[in-house]
Amino acid sequence: MSFNIFGRLFRFTTWGESHGPAIGAVVDGCPPGLALSEGDIQPWLDLRKPGTSKFTTQRREPDAVHILSGVFEGRTTGTPISLMIENTDQRSKDYSEVAKAYRPGHADYAYDAKYGFRDYRGGGRSSARETASRVAAGAVARLVIPEVDIFAYVSEIGGDAIDMRNFDAEEIGRNLFFCPDAEAAARWEALVDGARKDGSSLGAVVECVASGVPAGWGAPLYAKLDSELAAAMMSINAVKGVEIGDGFAAARLRGEQNADPMRPGSDGPVFLANHAGGIAGGISTGQPVKIRIAFKPTSSILTPVETVTRDGEASDIITKGRHDPCVGIRGVPVVEAMMALVLADQKLLHRAQCGEQPG
């Protein structure tokens, strides 16, 4: 089955291909009475928008969102919110070679193996263009969780990591890399530009923090908050790894190093550390929820790679066209959107079972 629906109560369905007339999302289960207009969604889409610098794909899309349903007199009605974004800069001519041979690292071969054929234009459904729909849906989700503050940033590109001592949240919006370390951002200019000129690509690590999440969201066992977040992030194109809190580093610690001691505080316990990333037993603890996500380098590169054609012949392929030298960069607003979507869903799930007041 092709599951293009995400979420349990606050749910959205996305549709659309890279080179079709439009893409979109239908948000179902949104609480009624929330103030919502295109103006609440567009700024987030603009952050993800392609064509804004030489560090992102040169496809130019205004990515203007239209609300087609579910809002009346400026407020959500509780019925489905249909969001549509028209595709305006499709160029099918770029993709003729892809129709014949499989691009290694891309979904081409797997789609053919599953479905028997595929829309090869611009990656079709597997194009990162789909993530615009998530960002639009995520903007609605944010309205459901005003108590939560979410921010994400790139912490590493091509193995070059930020220095946490330089961390400055304000810096994230000042450079083209969503980088909180001005020095790293400066280094990355050369790094990413070099990859772009080489026709190569770079991987990246994105980190996301959600503060203000109250204790009690999430659920044992198969809907642990860790699980939901991991599934959400792994559904983003090019993501191949997810860590909650210390993640793999925790596997190298001893129990006493990994503990997050607690002390009495004025408003519930105060934690002295956050190795757990704000989640214990699958349920939020009230600490910031922290997650790290690994983006592989895109497989769209100009270096020829050995491959096979649909007919089973040996071939070489280079991926011409317009591509991101580092897809992880534009992944930042997508990661934030998925965080918002998971948390909005969890908020509704929690009050379903436990009522408005925890416990």
Q: Which of residues 293-332 bind a copy of itself (CB under 8 A)?
A: 294-301, 303, 305-308, 312-314, 328
- CB 71 → a copy of itself: shortest distance, Å? 9
Report how far apart the first and last C-alpha atoms of the chain are (Å, whole number): 38
152 DSSP 8-state letter:
E
**255-274 positions binding a copy of itself, by CB under 8 A:** 255-264, 269, 271-272
**50-69 positions binding a copy of itself, by CB under 8 A:** 66, 68-69
Is 226 one of the binding residues for a copy of itself (CB under 8 A)? Answer: yes
Annotate each residue in 183-222 with x if it binds a copy of itself (CB under 8 A) or - if it does not, as one string. Answer: ------------x----xxxxxx--------xxxxxxxxx
Indicate which single residue of 47, 51, 62, 79 sits in contact with a copy of itself (rule: CB under 8 A).
79
Is 283 one of the binding residues for a copy of itself (CB under 8 A)? Answer: yes
Of 243 and 336, nearer to a copy of itself (C-beta) is: 243
Is 116 one of the binding residues for a copy of itself (CB under 8 A)? Answer: yes
For helices 327-354 and 38-48, give the axis angle rounded to 10 degrees.
140
DSSP H helices in 14-130: 38-48, 96-100, 108-115
- CB 302 → a copy of itself: shortest distance, Å? 9
Q: How many residues bind a copy of itself (CB under 8 A)?
A: 157
- CB 32 → a copy of itself: shortest distance, Å? 4
Max CA-CA distance within the chain? 69
Indicate which single residue of 50, 158, 180, 288 sits in contact with a copy of itself (rule: CB under 8 A).
158
Single-letter code of the amino acid located at 244 = I
Cα distances (Å, whole numbers) of residue 66 to 24, 41, 54, 318: 9, 9, 28, 36
What is the three-class DSSP state of 281?
coil
Which tokens belong to 205? 């690590």
- CB 27 → a copy of itself: shortest distance, Å? 9
The stretch among 43-51, 54-62, 173-181, 241-249 that binds a copy of itself (CB under 8 A) is 241-249
Is 13 one of the binding residues for a copy of itself (CB under 8 A)? Answer: yes
**127-156 positions binding a copy of itself, by CB under 8 A:** 130, 156
Is 162 one of the binding residues for a copy of itself (CB under 8 A)? Answer: no
Cα distances (Å, whole numbers) of residue 296 to 54, 66, 92, 260, 352: 19, 32, 26, 31, 38
Q: How far is CA 208 from the centre of its chain?
A: 10
Q: How far is CA 117 from the centre of its chain?
A: 27
Indicate which single residue of 244, 332, 334, 337 sits in contact with a copy of itself (rule: CB under 8 A).
244
Q: CB burial class (10 A; 0-12, 13-18, 19+) of residue 250?
A: middle
Please tell me the distance from the alpha carbon of residue 252 to that of residue 97, in angstroms, as a whole number.
46
